[in-house]
Structure 1
């Protein structure tokens, strides 16, 4: 028995040495709901931006986002993705180049997707967006239970189901979502943001994505968490409303928020050159039939097709990965933990880490 225990200790100790070689001390998982890989890699879609049905009075939208080539269009839509991540990090999921990222759950909508991202397990029992406490242990809960990270994990989201997906009451991970105000000793900005979300409700999502972002940023300034989950919603909601102009602007704002947060981290002593961002979406949308871009789910083909991106001190600068390959949504959780030196397990058969994302 002593020999067995000693062997286990040596193996665990050795694995920690291997993992500890990473420079990453902080991981931010950042998502925007239902944002298609087609726009990530091709920018504005000509069949939608020039459609009077989906982009009425399109002059402003065309001026801001349209260009002759896909390369120009995607840089206009997502300048941080293509001027920073594409040079310093990695982007996966350009199916035109044969590079694929797939959802494994069979439902292709939000709760199943977020669970898969965070727990690493495509749970067939999660088949609705109802506010049901998630039985699966997420990587956020796992990391929050590590002694060095206890109390240094947090989550902010626009969608009000996240307290249930993350199982806030069991996990101990603080989750601010929906129209939940922040409490305690507030900064002037937090007071203003509380007022905005109370007095000026969003017509698309539970609250404006910019409110979610700036509340999260204020939390980061105050509490300097090591692990942060941040999720936006307007890309999905505007798509459901068949508003392609608003969908594009929401995507562009998402890119701006990620850029601002990256620049903040690169100018903060705790985060500079010690922080990895993992960017991903929960599901795809329709594409082959023009009207299907507004929807997703089992009845809409190809909604299992997504994208992902990684940038940080341990990620080789491969840029846009154009080689044929296949990654899965369930690999995010294990990858996030591995960057921090932990072997995430939750009692289920979960996805393996994305090895190419690490040196």
Structure 2
């Protein structure tokens, strides 16, 4: 009898281990956005026109840190993780100098419409035409996943901008969202308690957007504790520094955000739950102007700013063909949501998400 009982317990343990192993093999996705970062900065490095404009304050320091002997060297100095890792192991789309284009399908070219398009896979110029704190009537991929049997309670979102609870509609969707100056809640570890304490002790530059380092570490601590399977992180400093004409801070923030993404990638590649089965899909909500003149001002974006509808996409993950920089392709922001749904093996009809999923394996 005891032998039979031992065998039964052993079989139960083996079955439980097999189930856990099967769950761990399910694909995990980190969707990451950098607010208002232009394709030009990602693919060509620091903008030497803006560097020599009144927008730049400490020109010598910027030149020392971010100017090399070529555009390729400049972009690597600015975003080393993108060019030393993603370009070699994943894909980068949106370098218009090589004929690779990524565009918005919404006509607004500012944040709420851009994030709605990224997260829902569909532009909505009728209802989403401002940055007001209005609960989104559209259903995001985060909500669809959280309402599924496979990913219920395994979805989370973190943002620097305080409008994200409305964009994701946290009340209806049930997706936990930490954004703006919200504190971490629940059973907090020591680091989360410390982050709650200090996030307003650091300089509060904008009341609606906290510094990205806090968003990053709130997200990282949650990830370490809870192991969510679909995570959205939105870094926001870059856009606000640009609006303020602070080219030095915009540039340094891009470099810092690249390092934060690298830190997150290194973490997931050393965590058995995420290692070798996690995708990073990185993009932006809109572009911005190219120069200093009215109609093309780098500080602005929107319908009346040339180039503001031009974006980019970076992809890294286990089944992503490592093609590096793309040539001569046309992609759209509304393709991101159906791509993520496809990776997670969740269904969304073409009316809900009209964009065509990206072919991650194309040469």
Normalised by the size of structure 1, how large is the TM-score? Answer: 0.90
State the Cα distance separating 1:224 from its structure 2 match. Answer: 0.2
Cα distance change, pair 112–143 in 1 and its aligned pair in 2 (3 A):
same
Q: Secondary structure at the match of 1:277?
A: strand
Matched, 1:236 2:244: no
- Take 1:339 and 1:250, find their aligned partners in 2: how far apart are those partners? 30
Give the structure 1 partner of residue 226 of structure 2: 223
- Take 2:258 and 2:354, find their aligned partners in 1: how far apart are those partners? 29
Q: 1:138–1:346: 8 Å Cα contact kept in structure 2?
A: no
Q: Which protein shows a greater Rg?
A: 2
Q: Secondary structure at the match of 2:156?
A: strand
Give the structure 2 partner of residue 119 of structure 1: 120
Q: 1:285–1:300: 8 Å Cα contact kept in structure 2?
A: yes
Q: 2:58–2:248: 8 Å Cα contact kept in structure 1?
A: no
Give the structure 1 partner of residue 336 of structure 2: 332
State the Cα distance separating 1:227 from its structure 2 match. Answer: 0.2
- Take 1:148 and 1:354, find their aligned partners in 2: how far apart are those partners? 22
- Take 2:337 and 2:182, find their aligned partners in 1: how far apart are those partners? 26
Stretches of structure 1 lacking an aligned partner (at least 5 in a row):
1-19
Matched, 1:254 2:257: yes
Give the structure 1 partner of residue 11 of structure 2: none
Question: What are the within-5 Å matches in structure 2 for residues 176-255 of structure 1?
Answer: 176-204=178-206, 206-255=209-258
- Take 1:290 and 1:99, find their aligned partners in 2: how far apart are those partners? 26
Question: What are the within-5 Å matches in structure 2 for residues 19-168 of structure 1?
Answer: 25-51=27-53, 53-125=54-126, 126-168=128-170
Q: Secondary structure at the match of 1:155?
A: strand
Q: Secondary structure at the match of 1:47?
A: helix
State the Cα distance separating 1:25 from its structure 2 match. Answer: 1.3
- Take 1:357 and 1:169, find their aligned partners in 2: how far apart are those partners? 37
State the Cα distance separating 1:355 from its structure 2 match. Answer: 1.3
Q: 1:212–1:232: 8 Å Cα contact kept in structure 2?
A: yes
Give the structure 2 partner of residue 310 of structure 1: 315
Give the structure 1 partner of residue 10 of structure 2: none
Stretches of structure 2 lacking an aligned partner (at least 5 in a row):
1-21
State the Cα distance separating 1:124 from its structure 2 match. Answer: 1.1
Matched, 1:297 2:302: yes
- Take 1:170 and 1:346, find their aligned partners in 2: how far apart are those partners? 23
Q: 2:156–2:175: 8 Å Cα contact kept in structure 1?
A: yes
- Take 2:99 and 2:44, find their aligned partners in 1: how far apart are those partners? 14
Matched, 1:266 2:269: yes
Matched, 1:344 2:345: no
Q: 1:157–1:177: 8 Å Cα contact kept in structure 2?
A: yes
